[in-house]
């Protein structure tokens, strides 16, 4: 086993670049374990529990224990480093009979501040002299306490409180992009890793997924470089799709360490980008297959051990995010149906106000239209013929519009088009083109055009367009009447 010389300096150097409490704790665990091969865990207090924040080794570490638990509880109450020369003799029931030798526990504290946690080191064998290790770990505990104090202290939230806060945050998202960004932030917050990216892929060509077939829907970086998430966003579709396949192959998983001894199939682009710790989770709702596959990739350039249940919690949170998306998608579909005229497929009067409000005065023109002699069509040929006339006129007007313009059916045989134009002459030209397109279908419309004036309420512009429309009905010598 390597000695303790220089270990304090190594830990100090490792923590200097850490920008979160979880990263600082993991840096301590990684540095001490790498030097000596011992098992290390760092626990911080919250209410009446010590919560596991970082660990090394392969034993099953408890996620949380009572503050009076074992040697850690003794250190927490006294504020002094403690050691068990032979743990199986002094605390036989504590370790359940598994192989263990000496144990040292040091307080995590900054100066006169209260003890906020412990650093535990467990040796495979019994040490003849524990004093050097006790002195070194006491210094490391002080260094860690100072760094945690600099970073704002340990979280005041328990794990259930954290999960509830982020669950509520996901439910409050307004759209899929915001939902993805909030989930990525939650993943980084929970794991302590540097960054996260959410990759979404349409399940198949028949899925009702709205958006690109394959997209990095959201990302989040705790601080510093965005290099890893930018590397994911820059991957070609084939590589992104392989990442989704690899993440969705099993339940949530976590990997860390040297790629030369690990099976990284499917994740090679991440390893090439410098990822050394990865948590991958996917959607598992337990219900009918979704219209999309989603994979969260939580990444860091450092190799360390996140809390033991991180992957499982992220998967549960991913499932919750998928449920929120499904509800959001259903609401969007219902809203779309409410805003569409079922006969013509045009949007109706409800969304017209929002479109008008978003237009710039002096560059927004309103074109009011209705079908000439529409009542006669219904009276002579019936409502089926009237409906056919409405769909033909709506299609002709829609095809005559430029990109960015939109026409609405506002009732009966009345239509309103909203145009983005440089001046009134352009508005008149587009209106004449719409009238000509309808005439080519054997129908006729009356058209009134009004360019919105500076500081003019949209209701006034609409009224001027209507007045121009009725003037056009009286004077059939013009195809489109411009409002005065």
Residue 259: is its pLDDT beyond 70?
Answer: no
**Is residue 410 within 8 Å of 348, Cβ to Cβ?**
yes
Confidence of residue 368 (pLDDT cuts 50, 70, 90): very high
pLDDT of residue 254: 53
Q: Which two tokens stand for residue 313?
A: 């919690």
Q: Name the helix (H) or strand (E) containing 370.
A: strand 364-371
| Per-residue pLDDT, 367 | 92
Alpha carbon distance 161, 163 (integer Å): 5
pLDDT at res. 455: 85
pLDDT above 70 coverage of the chain, percent:
84
Q: Where are the alpha helices (DSSP H) in 91-211?
A: 131-150, 159-171, 176-191
The 10 Å Cβ neighbour count of residue 464 is 22
Residue 351 has pLDDT above 60, yes or no: yes
> Is the Cβ–Cβ distance between 209 and 202 less than 8 Å?
yes
In 3D space, the residue among 47, 44, 99 whose CA is nearest the CA of residue 72 turns out to be 44
DSSP string covering 33-85, please? HHHH--EEEEEEEETTEEEEEEE-SSS---SEEETT-HHHHHHHHH-S-EEES
The stretch 228-257 carries a mean pLDDT of: 79
Backbone angles phi, psi at 100, to 5 degrees: -155, 145
In the structure, what pLDDT confidence band is assigned to residue 361 with cuts at 50, 70 and 90? confident
Measure the CA–CA gap between 320 and 314, rounded to whole angstroms: 10
pLDDT tens digits, 84-117? 888 777 665 555 555 678 899 999 997 777 899 9
Least confident of 51-65, 130-144, 326-340: 51-65
- How confident is the model over 25-37, as a mean pLDDT? 86
Q: Is the pLDDT of residue 206 over 80?
A: no
For the ranges 56-65, 129-138, 415-424, the lowest mean pLDDT is seen at 56-65
**Separation CA 317–CA 168 (nearest Å):** 11
What integer best gives the mean pLDDT of the chain? 82
**Using 50, 70 and 90 to split pLDDT, how confident is the model at 328?**
confident
> Angle at the Cα of 196 (from 190 to 201), degrees rounded to 5?
125
Q: Rounded mean pLDDT of 346-370?
A: 85
- The residues near 122 (Cβ < 8 Å, ≥ 6 apart) are 38, 39, 40, 57, 87, 100, 101, 102, 103
Mean pLDDT within 194-205 = 82
Residue ranges in 226-371 assigned as alpha helix (H) = 227-233, 237-248, 268-273, 310-339, 349-358
Is residue 44 packed enough to be buried (19+ CB in 10 Å), middle (13-18) or exposed (0-12)? buried
Q: Is the pTM of this model over 0.75?
A: no
| Residues 240, 203: Cα–Cα separation, whole Å | 14
Is pLDDT of 333 > 60? yes
Residue 416's DSSP bridge partners are 368, 408
Judged against a pLDDT cut of 90, whether residue 140 lies above it is answered with yes
The predicted model gives 351-366 an average pLDDT of: 84
**pLDDT exceeds cutoff 90 at 80:** yes
Burial 22-43 (b: 16+ CB within 10 A, else e): bbbbbbbbbbbbbbbebbbbbb
Q: For a pLDDT cut of 90, what percent of the chain falls above it?
A: 23
Q: Which segment of 86-100, 257-271, 308-322, 461-475 scores lowest on mean pLDDT?
A: 86-100
3-state secondary structure of 440: helix
């Amino acid at each position: 086993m390597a000695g303790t010389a220089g270990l304090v300096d190594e830990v100090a150097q490792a923590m200097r670049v850490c920008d979160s409490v979880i990263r600082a704790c993991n840096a301590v665990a990684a540095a001490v374990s790498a030097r000596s091969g011992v098992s290390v865990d760092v626990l911080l207090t919250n209410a009446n529990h010590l919560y596991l924040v970082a660990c090394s080794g392969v034993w099953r570490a408890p996620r949380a224990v009572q503050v009076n638990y074992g040697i850690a509880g003794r250190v927490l109450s006294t504020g002094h480093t403690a050691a068990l020369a032979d743990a199986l003799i002094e605390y036989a029931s504590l370790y359940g009979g598994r192989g263990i030798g000496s144990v040292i526990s040091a307080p995590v504290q900054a100066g006169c501040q209260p003890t906020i946690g412990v650093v535990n080191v467990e040796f495979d064998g019994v040490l003849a002299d524990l004093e050097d290790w006790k002195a070194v770990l006491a210094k490391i505990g002080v260094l860690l306490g100072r760094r945690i104090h600099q970073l704002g202290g340990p979280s005041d939230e328990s794990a259930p409180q954290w999960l509830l806060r982020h669950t509520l945050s996901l439910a409050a998202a307004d759209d899929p992009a915001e939902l993805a960004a909030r989930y990525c932030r939650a993943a980084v917050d929970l794991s302590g890793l540097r960054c996260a990216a959410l990759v979404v892929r349409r399940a198949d060509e028949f899925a009702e997924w709205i958006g690109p077939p394959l997209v990095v829907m959201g990302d989040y970086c705790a601080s510093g470089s965005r290099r890893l998430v930018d590397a994911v966003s820059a991957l070609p579709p084939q590589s992104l799709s392989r990442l989704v396949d690899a993440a969705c192959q099993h339940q949530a998983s976590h990997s860390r360490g040297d790629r030369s001894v690990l099976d990284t199939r499917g994740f090679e682009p991440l390893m090439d980008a410098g990822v050394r710790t990865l948590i991958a989770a996917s959607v598992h709702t337990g219900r009918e297959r979704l219209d999309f596959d989603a994979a969260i990739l939580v990444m860091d350039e450092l190799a360390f051990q996140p809390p033991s249940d991180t992957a499982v919690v992220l998967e549960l949170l991913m499932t919750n995010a998928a449920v929120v998306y499904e509800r959001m998608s259903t609401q969007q579909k219902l809203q779309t149906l409410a805003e569409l005229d079922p006969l013509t497929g045009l949007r109706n009067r409800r969304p017209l106000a929002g479109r008008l409000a978003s237009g710039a005065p002096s560059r927004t023109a309103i074109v009011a239209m209705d079908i000439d002699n529409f009542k006669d069509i219904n009276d002579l040929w019936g409502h089926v013929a009237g409906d056919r006339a409405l769909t033909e006129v709506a299609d002709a007007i829609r095809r005559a519009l430029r990109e960015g313009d939109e026409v609405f059916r506002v009732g009966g045989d009345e239509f309103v088009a909203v145009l983005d134009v440089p001046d009134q002459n352009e508005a008149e030209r587009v209106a004449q083109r719409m009238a000509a397109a309808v005439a080519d279908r054997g129908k006729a419309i009356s058209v009134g055009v009004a360019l919105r004036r500076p500081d003019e309420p949209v209701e006034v512009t609409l009224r001027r367009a209507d007045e121009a429309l009725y003037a056009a009905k009286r004077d059939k010598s013009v195809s489109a009447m411009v409002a005065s």
